[in-house]
Structure 1
Amino acid sequence: MIHELLQVDFWEMILRTTLTFFVLLTLARILGNKQLSQLTFFDYITGITIGSIAADIAGRSESAFLNGLTSLIWWSCLAILIAYIGLTSPSARVLFDGQPIILIKEGKIRKQSLKHARLNLDDLSMMLRKQGVFSMQDVNYAILEPDGQVSILKKEEHQPVTKKDLAIPTPKSVFLPSEIISDGKIVKKNLQELHVTEAWVQAQLKKHGIQSVEEVFYAEIQKDGSLFVSKD
């Protein structure tokens, strides 16, 4: 009797976990592709809550499956609704996501902004160091973004020199560097994006002494139209 009960629970858990997995995968695709570093606090909390609900559905047999699934889908719908409202209403976007806070303006630290952001000087120094700035004297503007990251504009004398500053001629990029051969097979989707034909690829390979695409493990088109080729 106990053996049969355990067997029923096992297959029930497998079914619940499998269904929850695919529902969660679908919802994740619908909710969007923000990276972890781009998430606002609301996005972060939403992700944790959805994950918690999904874990509860998959791992607890005493929880009603349909009730949990309804809760999971409804929470996701609310997140989508909030995102849509944020897209259509700037004031709502500020309410839901917050807005940037200027921590350093024209080289001067703004104490009130630090208090508003609940940061101290050590926090600010740490955030600057993560951006490769080790002296506040180098900073013209520092802005705390809604995702918790700090954007920095250095003072003019501390900004890196560009080719334009040195009047160095810069050739125009012809292509976006992209893979066109992977594991001996042509990546046709990328060829279409780049408006390049397979015949052109074959001609370029012959310049490298390669007669067949199958000989190539990886090939990438460079911005000047040349190929980087790695054989098997």
Structure 2
Amino acid sequence: MDEFFEFSFWEMIIRATIAFAVLLVLARLMGKKQISQLTFFHYVTGITIGSIAADIAGESETPFMNGLIAMIWWALLTLLMNYIALKSKKARVLLDDTPSILIHEGRLNEQEMKKVRMTLNDLNMMLREQSVFSVSDVNYAILETNGKLSVLKKAGQEAATKTDVKASAKDPKYIPTEIISDGKLIQKNLTELNLTEEWVMKQLKKKGIGQIDQVYYAEVYGDGSLFVDEKDD
């Protein structure tokens, strides 16, 4: 019973203070992403680092330096993986996966829903969170890597604006799609859009750009036009 009331006040204060300070520094180093922007990898990593910090602060049986080194090393590994993902598209896919198209041109993609283990009830709930109460109103629904659902409604179902009042209701020719990332052509997306590299080069030349590696990001709009963001000099 006496052991129940035993505690080392100053030891706990010092451990908690150092763990708090180190956790604060690591949090600043690891970036400014909001909770809603975190992918599953970053979410789990954050929980793990927090758990190690809590263990250091509250468990006197845990060797202090062992816990501190583990927390710092885990954060460094996360930073390393983020750097690799920044340089490699394959690493980004490995860490964060890719968005999943659950509704394609108004039709449910059953295979993709099975792949992400999502039921119709789950999908309808996420649509309602986007103020969409019928699947039939949706042209595209994309499950993002952070678990959020992005919705592109069918023409005529979007909220009207002043410029839309006299506009005719017409479905977009393409889903807005990334085709160039960090100077590299995304051939898979081009194939899905039935576009060619020659078409891309023609559009770039119209904008005074001669090489694909000059482009940081390019996206095909719904009407078939091209948005281009050149690399910084």
TM category, shorter: 0.5 to 0.7
Question: What is the alpha-carbon root mean square deviation over aligned residues?
Answer: 1.8
Q: Give the AA of the match of 1:129.
A: R
Q: Give the AA of the match of 1:147.
A: N
CA displacement 1:50-106 (0-9 Å, x = unmatched)? 011001100111211111100000000000011111111111101100100000000
Report the secondary structure of 2:163's partner residue: coil
Displacement of 1:166? 4.2
Q: Give the AA of the match of 2:131.
A: G
Where do 5+ consecutive residues of structure 1 fail to align? 168-232
Task: Quote the residue 2:78 is aligned against.
Answer: 79
Task: Quote the residue 1:67 is aligned against.
Answer: 66
Equivalent runs, 1:206-225 vs 2, <5 Å: none
Question: Which runs of at least 4 in structure 1 moved beyond 6 Å after TM superposition?
Answer: none
Identity %: 58
Task: Quote the residue 1:57 is aligned against.
Answer: 56
Task: Quote the residue 1:175 is aligned against.
Answer: none
| 1:144 aligned onto 2:143 | yes
Query: Partners in 1 of 2:162 and 2:90 — Cα distance?
Result: 40
Equivalent runs, 1:163-178 vs 2, <5 Å: 163-166=162-165
| 1:155 aligned onto 2:154 | yes
Displacement of 1:154? 0.1
Displacement of 1:37? 1.0
Task: Quote the residue 2:120 is aligned against.
Answer: 121
Report the secondary structure of 1:152's partner residue: strand
Displacement of 1:159? 1.0
CA displacement 1:100-126 (0-9 Å, x = unmatched)? 000000000010010001001101101
Compute the TM-score of the two structures, normalised by the length of structure 2. Answer: 0.67
Report the secondary structure of 1:164's partner residue: helix
Task: Quote the residue 1:205 is aligned against.
Answer: none
Where do 5+ consecutive residues of structure 2 fail to align? 167-233
Query: Partners in 2 of 1:27 and 1:94 — Cα distance?
Result: 25
| 1:20 aligned onto 2:19 | yes
Task: Quote the residue 2:187 is aligned against.
Answer: none
Q: Give the AA of the match of 2:157.
A: H
Equivalent runs, 1:91-130 vs 2, <5 Å: 91-130=90-129
Compute the TM-score of the two structures, normalised by the length of structure 1. Answer: 0.68
Report the secondary structure of 2:164's partner residue: coil
Query: Partners in 2 of 1:162 and 1:74 — Cα distance?
Result: 51
Q: Give the AA of the match of 2:41.
A: F
Task: Quote the residue 1:178 is aligned against.
Answer: none
Which structure has the bigger radius of gyration? Answer: 1
Report the secondary structure of 1:132's partner residue: coil
- How many residues align? The count is 164
